[in-house]
Chains A and B, each alone.
Chain A
């Protein structure tokens, strides 16, 4: 079973539908018992960092998440869920992240004429082998929507997209994975990424 963490941030409909469409047993939950029983955990998220972080704390799930990650359970953060994996974010102030991957989240400083948010389909440039990208080829397009991006995480960066600057697209450190884009909105390429995560999770049973 794949647990999708429900902490009152954003719409989980597409993510859960996409997981079910690839045959995964997805369960939306913030219960400690379910998170402990899961083969893998997905942390979604849209909106503002500070608000999402406060809601994650308030959900009571954070302690269990940290324990399970430390035990080696496969964990995937998506979009804002990926941003929360880092040490801190500078979105409207300075906010502490979960600290699973070294790095920080900063506003875009882009060449003139580039629009923020970075929204739309962009190609992936794969810089490091990673089982999460087993079904992904160099140059495959994925769907992004974000105004802040991760930096200082080069040692754990798996793929980037070119938006005037290299934008961190996929990160991995041990059992912890993150995608800045939305695999649940990235067509077949996105479904392949979710399939790979499910395979990683089920392989760890």
Chain B
């Protein structure tokens, strides 16, 4: 039986890890390699690195950071941020990434998911969706959750799966940074529409939120969080032991 995954996410800018609150007010936390080793040792099932740098110089620093992490940490690594065409997939896969997450790049060019899946395999392509309640539906936002796109998030997830995405990261802008739990409602809407794994993101404030996600959630495969892990508010090993004691299958 596959284990439910607990995934720390590290936003990287100029070679350093930062964490936003509602995507703004970035704050430097720590060294990516040191954090990656720490998370590996504490039982993280996977690591996600988001490159939030826009500059060419920052991109180079990110590549160096990623290479350093991938040569020392031997669990699956997902990379996102600034992925707009196949050369970006190539760039991060060469540095040791296992999966590549595309967000705004797929909104600008929806064909990228299919082309990447064909070239690198479905398992390699993650469609990352930032979505927010607008009226009676969920709308996709681009550019780090700032720009409304008019696209329906459930439709977008379904289309991503058809194109060949191997996995979806669903980040709820409504719950992100608020620390009151994952957006189970939004998650349910997306999980009902697709059969590929869905990773819940945004809103984890304590260990119990992961238990709620896996017990009451509609089949989410993984929970992703950043600040609660970075600031030591939740210890991953203790979190997984707690999940296991409630019968959630986790890798201990």
- A92: chain B residues within 8 A (beta carbon): none
Residues of A within 8 A of B (CB): 11, 13-14, 17-18, 20-21, 46-47, 115, 117-123, 141, 143, 145, 162-163, 184-187, 190-191
Q: Which of B15-23, B67-75, B108-116 contacts A (4 or more CB under 8 A)?
A: B67-75
- B121: chain A residues within 8 A (beta carbon): 46-47
Chain B, range 185-218, C-beta contacts under 8 Å to A: 195-197
Contact A141 B3 (CB under 8 A): yes
Chain B, range 83-134, C-beta contacts under 8 Å to A: 93-96, 98, 121-123
Contact A14 B70 (CB under 8 A): yes
Cα–Cα, bound, A162→B2 (Å): 8
Cα–Cα, bound, A185→B96 (Å): 11
Chain B, residues 2-29, CB within 8 Å of chain A (1/0): the string is 1101000000000000000000000000
Cα–Cα, bound, A185→B93 (Å): 14
CB distance from A125 to the nearest CB of B (A): 11
Of the four ranges (under 10, 10 to 19, 20 to 34, 35 or more), the interface on chain B belongs to 20 to 34
**Residue A121 contacts which of B3, B98, B123 (CB distance < 8 angstroms)?**
B3
**Residue B122 contacts which of A11, A14, A117 (CB distance < 8 angstroms)?**
A117
Which residue of chain B has its CB nearest to the CB of A145?
B123
- B40: chain A residues within 8 A (beta carbon): 187
**Residue B71 contacts which of A17, A185, A191 (CB distance < 8 angstroms)?**
A17
Cα–Cα, bound, A47→B123 (Å): 10
Evaluate whether A186 and B74 lie within 8 angstroms (CB atoms) in the complex, with A13-B94, A47-B121, A122-B3 already known: yes
Query: Among B1, B167, B221, which residue has the most Cβ atoms of chain A within 10 A?
Result: B1
Q: What are 26 A-B pairs at a CB distance below 8 A? A: A11-B94, A13-B96, A17-B70, A17-B71, A17-B72, A17-B74, A18-B74, A115-B195, A117-B122, A117-B166, A118-B2, A119-B123, A119-B166, A120-B3, A121-B45, A121-B251, A122-B3, A123-B1, A123-B3, A141-B251, A162-B1, A163-B1, A184-B74, A185-B98, A186-B74, A186-B75
Contact B197 A119 (CB under 8 A): yes
Contact B197 A17 (CB under 8 A): no
The 8 A-B residue pairs with the shortest CB-CB distance in the complex, in nearest-first order? A141-B251, A17-B71, A121-B3, A120-B2, A121-B251, A13-B96, A145-B123, A18-B74
